[in-house]
Structure 1
Amino acid sequence: MKIPVGLLLVVLAMLMLSGCVGATPDGQPGPQDIFEKSRNSDRAPSAFHDDVQRESCGEITLAQGEQIPAEAIDCMDAATGERKAELAVLSPTTEGDPIITYYRTSADTSGIEMFSNGEYDKFGSRDWWHAMCPKSMTRLVREGCPK
């Protein structure tokens, strides 16, 4: 049975591309699975793995210079002090390495809890950072969180 050359080339191209979906050329996880790998990291602070059900305000992948969308900020602001919610944001470092930050709210706190995963930052500490920010998500995005 003869396979047309054009069909063979298309199939080979699809196979090559499918191998690149899970990782970048430098071995970093791709955006499709980095949130899952990060959520299951054994290097995360113990408070991160609290197994609490949270409303999702999204999993967002930002490009260099992009900001968190207003809808996600509004979702977190509405949840602050009212209910448990989480927003996961992947943003690149200057060199392009991914940093994943989880913003969380709770009914019993008036601020935003942050967990930042720097494990994939080849030029950074490769550690997690945890902080409680006594601000709304809107203020946190504008002013940052005191360390």
Structure 2
Amino acid sequence: MSGLHDCCIIDLPKITDPRGNLSFIEGAQHIPFEIRRVYYLYDIPGGETRGGHAHKELQQLIVAMSGSFDVILDDGYNKKTFSLNRSYYGLYLTNMVWREIVNFSTGAVCMVLASEHYDESDYFRDYREFRNAVKEWHI
């Protein structure tokens, strides 16, 4: 089982050019998984929270493509907050970490790269159920 201690900011390649910068992400090169799904959150109303779940197996990379937001991570025992506001930084999330995405700036775009295709059975959507699973795995 992975956890909060494995979650970290990954400094993505950045090619600086007077015409505009370029960054890129290659699965299993810059991140520790192959990319099987990409999705993004946008037009988020002020004060809204996204996330509110954990994954049993899925790994993710979260990138602030535009604007800023905070990601609160919780492994069932400890919490840590990461502020994302640069498109050349990605937050790597392992499995078994609860996440809440908050404090979206106006016009923020949150891109998520996922290690697997969508599978509802991989989700913990109830925090109490997640905590119970974490406790069982630590026994």
Same fold (TM over 0.5): no
Higher relative contact order (CA 8 A, sep 6+): 2
Q: TM-score, normalised by structure 2?
A: 0.29
Larger-Rg structure: 1
Q: TM-score, normalised by structure 1?
A: 0.28
